[in-house]
Amino acid sequence: MSFMRLCVFCGSKHGNKPLYSETALHVGRLLAERGIGLVYGGGHVGLMGVLADAVLAGGGEVIGVIPQSMVESELAHTKVTDLIVVQTMHERKALMALKSDAFLALPGGVGTAEEFFEIATWRQLGLHDKPVGLLNVAGFFDPLIAWMERAYADGFIAEKHRGLVCISSDAEQLIAALQPRWRRDR
C-alpha cells in the first residue's frame, strides 16, 4: 500500500492568535503519529513552517512544492523530505493535488482561500474525487461556512455538492473523517 498523503493549505504568517500556531503544531504531530505524509506549499514561515517542522520532528514525510520565485526570496523550507521547485503557482497547485490523497485547509489569508476553493471546485467538477476538509479553528471559517450555506440556500450550490467539504473544529475528528474516505477511494 502506498504512503497516504494529506495536502494542507495554511497561512504563511502565524496570525495574531497563538491558537493558530498551536493547531498547526497539533495537526503536524497527528500526521506524523498516524503515518500520513504532508504535502504543502514548501515554505518555512508562518503556519506552513510550524506544520512542516512538527511532521518532521515526528519522523514523518514532508513534500514541499514551491515556485522558484519563492525560493529566491528565501522562503523555502530546506529540511523537508522532498522540496520540489516549480515555475508557477499553477504548476504548484496541480502538483500538490497530484501528490495528495486528501486536502485540508487551516487558517490563512487570500492564498489559502484560493487554494481551498480551487481544489473544492475541482472536486465539484469531477476532476478528482479526493476528500476536502476545513478545520474551523476558533470559528475562523464561520463567515465562509455561512457564505457556503447562503450560496446553497440561494441556489448556487446544488444539493449533491452541499456536503462536498468536511467541516470540523476538531483536528482529530476531521482527519479521522477524511481517512476512511481516502482509503475507500484508493
Mean pLDDT of 107-116: 96
121-147: pLDDT as tens digits: 999 999 999 999 999 999 999 999 999
14-44: pLDDT as tens digits: 999 999 999 999 999 999 999 999 999 999 9
Residues of the chain with pLDDT > 90, as a percent, come to 89
pLDDT of residue 146: 97
Q: 184 pLDDT band (50/70/90 cuts)? A: very low
Measured CA to CA, the distance from residue 157 to residue 162 in angstroms comes to 7
Partners of residue 103 on adjacent β-strands: 7, 132
Q: 163 pLDDT band (50/70/90 cuts)? A: confident
pLDDT of residue 73: 87
Please provide the CATH number assigned to the domain covering 5-140+166-185: 3.40.50.450
pLDDT of residue 32: 97
**DSSP, res 68:** H
Q: What is the CA radius of gyration of the chain?
A: 16
Measured CA to CA, the distance from residue 171 to residue 46 in angstroms comes to 19
Please say if the pLDDT value at position 70 is more than 80: yes
Ranges of each domain in the chain: 5-140+166-185
Other C-beta atoms lying within 10 Å of the C-beta of residue 74: 9
Measured CA to CA, the distance from residue 1 to residue 162 in angstroms comes to 31
77-94: pLDDT as tens digits: 999 999 999 999 999 999
Partners of residue 155 on adjacent β-strands: none
